[in-house]
């Protein structure tokens, strides 16, 4: 299949996400070579027009742009270390989930190997790739980002955070932290009402609009945090934010209090330090300065 911009691209790693990334490139008309440890995962993509590489080295040699999406940092090294000399002079986009320091280590490894490196954090599930709402965060080589931006945007909105290769991962994991804590809060609420025979679906129908509306408070919290003054008028005080009633009600329903108790601990730490009348946003100080 002919490319739509002359770029040849290889995708290494065809799990659910890697397959979705490769499929989007094939559908967009990019000449795409694919490789996976378990060769059978290439079949569906080859049927759509991708070229199967027998080895990771073959995949690297086939293209000027190499995309890798594996399990973790050690997997990336396991696959790429033996073909580092083949990668020299090429561009590498790592879409494997790594910590910021792991991303920086991979960037340093790539620089030593003569490889232009761009790190990415995918803010989407596989089914969202190439669809509205999908976005990928990038940091590392500005040249790689600009040169291949049109191709990268086949997957979703592309957001670049600068030359520090760890920044995309930092934003990615920070956003996921907010998501998972929110999910845990929903699960806690669903468990509470479940004890009264309320289906999770009924609770979800109420929780979704409520939580969506509450995200409107983020900007206000951010303004207070950036300003550093937790005493400004209009904030809900830490005393008022005490979660004792929620903890008691949860215990009465026979459900675990762990998810909510975590927030209560952050609140109590600031109250005990003498900040009871200050705003709820102050709990960030408990997070930034643990212990």
pLDDT tens for residues 215-248? Answer: 999 999 999 999 999 998 888 999 999 999 999 9
**Per-residue model confidence (pLDDT) at position 233:** 86
Cα→Cα distances 174→6, 121, 166, 196, 276, Å? 36, 11, 12, 34, 27
Which residues have C-beta within 8 Å of that of residue 30, sequence separation ≥ 6?
3, 4, 5, 7, 8, 9, 151, 154
Q: Answer whether CATH 2.60.120.1440 is correct for domain 195-288.
A: no
* Mean pLDDT across the chain: 96
Mean pLDDT value across residues 33-44: 95
**Per-residue model confidence (pLDDT) at position 234:** 86
- Torsions phi, psi of 285, nearest 5? -70, -30
Per-domain boundaries in the chain: 8-163, 195-288
- Is residue 34 scored above 90 in pLDDT? yes
Residue bearing the bigger pLDDT, 291 or 154: 154
Helices (H), 156-257: 167-194, 200-214, 218-227, 244-252
Bridge partners, residue 52, by sequence: 34
Q: Which fold has domain 8-163?
A: Rossmann fold (3.40.50)
Which residues have C-beta within 8 Å of that of residue 164, sequence separation ≥ 6?
104, 139, 140
Mean pLDDT value across residues 155-167: 98
- Is residue 3 scored above 50 in pLDDT? no
- Is residue 5 scored above 70 in pLDDT? no
Q: pTM for this structure?
A: 0.93
């Amino acid at each position: 299949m002919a490319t739509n911009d002359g770029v040849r691209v290889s995708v290494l790693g065809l799990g659910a996400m890697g397959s979705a990334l490769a499929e989007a490139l094939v559908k967009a008309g990019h000449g795409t070579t694919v490789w996976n440890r378990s060769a059978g995962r290439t079949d569906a993509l080859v049927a759509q027009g991708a070229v199967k590489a027998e080895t990771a080295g073959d995949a690297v040699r086939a293209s000027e742009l190499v995309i890798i999406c594996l399990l973790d940092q050690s997997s990336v090294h396991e696959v790429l270390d033996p073909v580092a000399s083949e990668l020299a002079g090429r561009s590498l986009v790592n879409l494997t989930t790594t910590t910021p320091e792991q991303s920086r280590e991979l960037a340093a490894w790539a620089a030593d190997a003569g490889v232009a490196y761009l790190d990415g954090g995918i803010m989407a599930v596989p089914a969202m790739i190439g669809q509205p709402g999908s976005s990928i965060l990038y940091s590392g080589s500005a040249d790689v980002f600009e040169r291949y931006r049109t191709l990268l945007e086949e997957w979703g909105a592309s957001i670049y955070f600068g030359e520090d290769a760890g920044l995309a991962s930092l934003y990615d994991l920070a956003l996921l932290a907010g998501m998972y804590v929110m999910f845990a809060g929903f699960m806690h609420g669903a468990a509470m009402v479940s004890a009264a025979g309320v289906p999770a679906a009924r609770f979800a129908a109420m929780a979704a609009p409520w939580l969506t509306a509450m995200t409107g408070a983020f900007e206000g919290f951010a303004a207070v945090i950036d300003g550093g003054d937790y005493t400004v008028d209009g904030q809900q005080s830490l005393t008022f934010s005490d979660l004792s009633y929620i903890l008691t009600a949860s215990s009465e329903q026979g459900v675990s209090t762990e998810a909510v108790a975590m927030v209560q601990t952050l609140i109590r730490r600031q109250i005990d330090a003498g900040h009871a009348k200050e705003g709820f946003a102050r709990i960030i100080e408990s997070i930034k300065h643990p212990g």
